[in-house]
Amino acid sequence: MVSKCANPDCSAPFLYLHQGKLFRMETGTVDANGSVLEADPEMKKPSRHIEFYWLCNDCAAAMTLTYKKGIGVTTKPLARAQGAAS
């Protein structure tokens, strides 16, 4: 359940869907310690683990979220368009 901004440096509480930006990410199956588990070889399809993350308005204006295998969800500064028209 989303309760606050996904930026670890921000403590803005999640209140409404129309504020900020909601992310849906497939992160892989994790155990109780947060370690990513490998797919069960006996399963026909690997299990999926979907999680939701939220950035508040201020953080969403300056960054996005990315998922890195072995690390998890991290913030990344937004790439600014160079030479954008005024």
Identify which has the larger pLDDT, 43 or 75.
Answer: 75
pTM: 0.70
Rounded to a whole number of angstroms, the distance between the first and last alpha carbons of the chain is 40
pLDDT at 1 over 80: no
Residue 22 has a pLDDT of: 96
Residue 37 pLDDT: 57
pLDDT of residue 82: 45
**Tens digit of pLDDT for each residue in 12-41?**
999 998 999 999 998 766 555 555 555 556
Stretch 40-48: mean pLDDT, rounded? 65
